[in-house]
Amino acid sequence: MTLTYGEKIAKLEKDFGVTDYTEPEHSSWNDPAFLDAMIKLEIFNGTNFSKFSADVRSDPTCIAKAVGFKSTHLQKPPLQFATEKARDEEDVIFHAFSVNPTNLQFASSRLKASPCFIDRLVSSRKNVGHIAPFLPKEVLSDQHLARLLISSNNLNYLDLDERLLRDEDITFCAMNTQREKSYEQIFSEAPFELTANVKFFDRCFNGAKPGPYKTKTQVKSEIKKLHRRAKEGLKGKRPLEIFDNKAKLNDIAEKLKKRTYIDTDEIRKSLTEIAQKIFPDASKDKATLKRFAELSWAVGSLNETTLSHFDQKVLSDESFVKSLSLATDGNFEKLLRGK
């Protein structure tokens, strides 16, 4: 027979001979059996653990029962009400962490900064990835500890100390172990100073492996693109903006190639915006100019405005004009001759 909440309280008070179980004065708060009964009757809510005596709140067995209670029934994590002495004991925190990694926040400062204890936690539970807010700066900036946490997927790459984000070994380790993000995604999150480095690029390019939705070749292509982007980024904001907008031209071309649904008005608008950002810097870049003209022709916006983006030296190159004319079904040359 299932008891109502009121009946559960009545049973608890009758069994322990108290008039009002919430009163702080009665002696049952010193009795571990009272905690057992509250848990069994599902009256325990985490917050009421604070009313128990220091002896109960420092007892490892009582703490283990409290933190192991149904999380859906807890108003607050009971570990936060354990005594300071208990929260400085490895076994107590180790068990609490195994139940819920966020319990680490209530561990003593000594334990959270202990290399041996962090090592033990890492060995016990992997793929947590969200404990950085509970760790001191000393841990997030310690190369050995950071690598342990990264390699076990217990720490997100971007939670690392800035100095360690520039560490080749740790970044490469993250690329190969972070499960929530792809190999190339971690590479994209690393600082430009690192991803623009030829030596590090070679290491990542040669060590590339297929992802869940990409082949090894596609991952390598993405790494190469990100490496180029990083080099442009180191040059400054303007070169990076030009690089990114050239990439947008490639994306539009891919969509047209796949013949997916295309909103030509939207593409025309995008081409106008891209033109404002890459020209006149790209007015001599034949590959970009050709791509831009081809796309403009594909959506019916190849006109004198398009021509205005071309440097005169480029327009005087007959072989280039001829190839572009072929790509636009003769329209580019007609436009040029009629100018």
Residue 316: CB atoms within 10 A of its CB come to 10
* Residues in contact with 188: Cβ distance below 8 Å, sequence separation at least 6, in sequence order: 195, 226
Residue 36 has pLDDT above 70, yes or no: yes
User: pLDDT: is 185 or 250 the higher one?
Assistant: 185
pLDDT, residue 226, reads: 93
Domain boundary among 75, 106, 137: 106
pLDDT, residue 186, reads: 92
Is residue 130 in a domain? Answer: no
Question: What CA–CA distance (Å, rounded) separates 131 from 117?
Answer: 14
Is residue 64 in a domain? Answer: yes
**Minimum mean pLDDT among 41-45, 89-93, 126-130, 329-333: which range?**
126-130
Is residue 173 in a domain? Answer: no
Mean pLDDT of 314-318: 83
Question: What CA–CA distance (Å, rounded) separates 173 from 253?
Answer: 35
In percent, how much of the chain has pLDDT > 90?
Answer: 32
* Residue 133 tokens, joined: 């807010």
Is residue 128 in a domain? Answer: no
Domain boundary among 76, 106, 136: 106
CA dihedral 319, 321, 325, 328 (to 10 degrees): 120
pLDDT, residue 260, reads: 60
Q: For 203-256, write each residue's pLDDT tens digit.
A: 999 998 887 788 889 999 999 999 999 998 988 888 888 888 888 888 888 777
Mean pLDDT of 259-287: 81
Question: What CA–CA distance (Å, rounded) separates 228 from 238?
Answer: 14
Domain boundary among 106, 123, 156: 106
CA distances from 235 to 173, 192, 218, 243, 253 (A): 27, 10, 26, 11, 27
Containing structural domain, residue 300: 260-339
pLDDT, residue 91, reads: 94
Mean pLDDT of 99-113: 91
Query: For helices 90-99 and 60-67, what crossing angle results, to 10°?
Result: 10
pTM of the full predicted structure?
Answer: 0.70
Q: Is 118 exposed, middle or buried (0-12, 13-18, 19+ CB in 10 A)?
A: buried
What are the φ and ψ backbone dihedral angles of 301, each rounded to 5 degrees? -125, 25
pLDDT, residue 261, reads: 61
CA distances from 4 to 31, 34, 231 (A): 24, 19, 67
Is residue 303 in a domain? Answer: yes
Residue of 252, 298, 304 whose CA lies nearest to 273: 252
Mean pLDDT of 162-166: 90
Is residue 307 in a domain? Answer: yes
Is residue 333 in a domain? Answer: yes
Is residue 222 in a domain? Answer: no
Within a 13 Å sphere around the CA of 234, how many CA atoms are in the beta-carbon half? Answer: 12
- When divided into structural domains, the chain yields a total of 2
In percent, how much of the chain has pLDDT > 70?
Answer: 98
* Residue 285 tokens, joined: 């870049």
